[in-house]
Amino acid sequence: MPDKRGGISSEAKLNVLQVYSKSMLQHQNLCLTDL
Tell me which of 35 and 31 has the higher pLDDT.
31
Q: What is the mean pLDDT of residues 16-32?
A: 84
Q: What is the mean pLDDT of residues 1-11?
A: 67
Q: 4: how many CB neighbours lie within 10 A of its CB?
A: 5
Q: 32: how many CB neighbours lie within 10 A of its CB?
A: 8
Does position 34 have pLDDT exceeding 80, yes or no? no
**Binning pLDDT at 50, 70 and 90, where does residue 18 land?**
very high
Distance CA 10, CA 8 (A): 6
Q: 11: how many CB neighbours lie within 10 A of its CB?
A: 8
- What is the structure's pLDDT at 19? 92
Task: Please state the pTM of the whole predicted model.
Answer: 0.50
Q: What ranges in 1-35 are assigned the alpha helix state H?
A: 10-34
Three-state DSSP class for 7?
A: coil
Does position 35 have pLDDT exceeding 60, yes or no? no
